Structure 1
Amino acid sequence: MNGTAIENFVCVIFNVSFMNCTWHVGRTSSGETQYYLYWRNSRKEDFTGCQNYIKDIYGKHTGCRFQNVTIENKVADFLINGSKSGQNIQSFKKKIILYKIEILTPPLNVTVNCTEASRGCEIQWQPPRTSHVKRRGCFKYEIVIENKVDLKKNTLKTKSSITGNSYIFESFNTEKRYSVKLRATDNGCLVSTNWGEWSTPVEFGKEQLASTSSYLLFLIPVLSASLVLFIFTICIYLKKTSATVPRPRDPFHELCSTDFQMERKNQVINHETEEIITVIEEVA
């Protein structure tokens, strides 16, 4: 019995309401051993079995996927037991506070508004999505601003423990290009103390626009020259091709010329015949 229970049981909640639980098979379990997970997220409910198991290449259960999980202030009970040839093996039990295993989604709607007059940029965002926390004050943030041009000084500023939903980036250079990303964590509420996922980097500044314009100014002449060369090549090819093709015969021209020659020959013959006949008549 010892060593047949599952090991390294871990659960995470992500994307607000999805949960994955995984484990390793027991050290002394044989290939015939199969595991089954049961859970409940309230003591008022009964245990329910997993509906969507994660399996290894041998078909053995090594995890379970859940949907529509509600966190609130709940403690979930997990029970995993197994069977081997119809015989029960060592079971595994664990209690988990659900909000502690949540991976927070990225902060939402990250925007940047820069003004040349103040030489500063206001970065704004909305809190991450959760199913159980509605207060904005329940989150604090880490912000990273990077220089997209100067690779030696790529990371300009990393600021953590930001509360609220805005941040002023000072010393903004209007001729450079920057990017900003954020992530969230707990600020004294029922929120996971682990840092959540990073937001998609948002770029701001004018360096990229200038680079794009320069690139277009270089690309347009190259494309124009290529087009002219292509047309010139096609013209030379068509000219050579047309020179090797024989001109078509004109049947009407040749027919008219032949008929004219035959008619002229007949007229000469008829005239000579008429003269011979006339001479014969005079001799007679």
Structure 2
Amino acid sequence: MNGTATENFVCVIFNVSFMNCTWHVDSSSGDIQYFLYWKTSRKEDFSGCQNYIKDGYGRHTGCRFQNVTIEKKRAYFLLNVSRSGQNIQSYKKTIILHEIEKLTPPLNVTVNCAKDSHGCEIRWQPPRTSHVKRHSCFKYEVAIENKVDHEKDIKTTSKTERNITGNSYVFGSISAEKRYRVKIRATDNGCLVSTSWGEWSTPIEFGTEQLTSTTSYMIFLIPLLTASLVLFLCTVSIYLKKTSAAIPQPRNLFHELSPVDFQTENKNQLIKHETEEITTITEEVT
């Protein structure tokens, strides 16, 4: 029937324990509604979806699940299609949960380029899962491409290595004229893991050009820091001089007159005494 969910029912587990299930909805069936139920054991009862995904007309187009446990479990789904409140069709499907998991990117991707060689070692850790602990359960795809540089007329080239079973890879074709970036993803290697490739890791840049740029940056930074330090010390020195000048100096109570000062002081006293005598005589004559 048109507008039913008998086809295009898909579930995906992502970020370890989240699951989304979606189905096709015919745009012409405005009076049809969908209700999803699921369980992880034949013995238990179905439980309904608690968080539906809806379209602009309010029709259920999917369901979001949280805290989904994957290990060795099957899930049983029941999708009821109803019109005007009456069930018109039911769709059932059984899914092995680990087969629908989208693996997270590998963790802690690092690149170490030795200065005395032309190779770089790329290392990483397995992706996060809730049911697989052994490193040997994964194999990886490593994709390396050089960064485009239009000024030097360097074109993009890439190299991909698949089915790497360890947690490291040595890239030996590095060129001093290029800068590279690497990304990694994982898949199953014979365990209870999805056979589909997982998500790519965030690209990591590396290369000789990056090291050279860092050195040039340090060469520019050191003189700048030195000049800033000198300017700071000069400013502090000027400030201290101004502060010292503004503070009055205490008078030296024990300062003694020099011989010249003593003679000048004695002469002044004689002149003062003679002036006083003349003034007295004048007053008596008057």
Does residue 202 (structure 1) correspond to residue 201 (structure 2)? The answer is no
Q: Report sequence identity in percent.
A: 74
Does residue 168 (structure 1) correspond to residue 167 (structure 2)? The answer is no
Task: After superposing the two structures, state which structure 1 stretch, 39-48 or 149-158, moved more.
Answer: 149-158
TM-score normalised to structure 1 length: 0.70
Cα displacement (A) at 1:10: 0.7
Cα displacement (A) at 1:25: 2.6
Per the alignment, residue 159 of structure 1 pairs with: 161
**Cα distance between partner residues in 2 of 1:149 and 1:86:** 59
**Cα distance between partner residues in 1 of 2:4 and 2:177:** 62
Cα displacement (A) at 1:42: 2.1
Does residue 63 (structure 1) correspond to residue 65 (structure 2)? The answer is no
Aligned residues: 217
Per the alignment, residue 11 of structure 2 pairs with: 11
Cα displacement (A) at 1:82: 2.6
Cα displacement (A) at 1:205: 2.0
Moved over 6 A (4+): none
Cα displacement (A) at 1:66: 0.5
Cα displacement (A) at 1:142: 0.5
**Cα distance between partner residues in 2 of 1:92 and 1:188:** 32
Q: Helix, strand or coil: the match of 2:23?
A: strand
**Cα distance between partner residues in 1 of 2:124 and 2:157:** 20
Does residue 95 (structure 1) correspond to residue 94 (structure 2)? The answer is yes
- Contact persistence 1:16–1:105 (CA under 8 A): yes
How big is each residue's C-alpha offset from its partner over 1:52-71, in whole Å with a ceiling of 9 and x where there is no partner? Answer: 00000000101000011111
What amino acid does structure 1 have at the position aligned with 2:145?
E
What amino acid does structure 1 have at the position aligned with 2:99?
K
What amino acid does structure 1 have at the position aligned with 2:68?
V
**Cα distance between partner residues in 1 of 2:190 and 2:137:** 6
Question: Superposition pairs for residues 1-284 of structure 1, below 5 Å?
Answer: 2-3=1-2, 5-6=4-5, 7-25=7-25, 30-149=29-148, 153-174=155-176, 176-208=178-210, 210-211=212-213, 213=216
- Contact persistence 2:105–2:199 (CA under 8 A): yes
Cα displacement (A) at 1:87: 1.8
CA RMSD of aligned residues (A): 2.5
Mark the CA change 1:86 to 1:146 in structure 2 (over 3 Å): closer, same or farther: closer
What amino acid does structure 1 have at the position aligned with 2:4?
A
Mark the CA change 1:210 to 1:122 in structure 2 (over 3 Å): closer, same or farther: closer
What amino acid does structure 2 have at the position aligned with 1:145?
I
Cα displacement (A) at 1:175: 5.2
For structure 1, the 5+ residue unaligned runs are 218-284
- Contact persistence 1:179–1:202 (CA under 8 A): yes
How big is each residue's C-alpha offset from its partner over 1:193-239, in whole Å with a ceiling of 9 and x where there is no partner? Answer: 1111100011112314545748x97xxxxxxxxxxxxxxxxxxxxxx
Mark the CA change 1:30 to 1:174 in structure 2 (over 3 Å): closer, same or farther: closer
What amino acid does structure 2 have at the position aligned with 1:88?
N
**Cα distance between partner residues in 2 of 1:4 and 1:200:** 40
Q: Helix, strand or coil: the match of 1:207?
A: helix
Q: Helix, strand or coil: the match of 2:53?
A: strand
Mark the CA change 1:75 to 1:148 in structure 2 (over 3 Å): closer, same or farther: same
**Cα distance between partner residues in 2 of 1:105 and 1:71:** 14
Q: Helix, strand or coil: the match of 1:91?
A: strand
What amino acid does structure 2 have at the position aligned with 1:75?
R
- Contact persistence 2:4–2:24 (CA under 8 A): no
Cα displacement (A) at 1:159: 0.5
- Contact persistence 1:42–1:75 (CA under 8 A): yes
**Cα distance between partner residues in 2 of 1:82 and 1:74:** 26
For structure 2, the 5+ residue unaligned runs are 221-286
Q: Helix, strand or coil: the match of 1:46?
A: coil
Cα displacement (A) at 1:44: 3.5
**Cα distance between partner residues in 1 of 2:13 and 2:117:** 42
**Cα distance between partner residues in 2 of 1:97 and 1:24:** 21
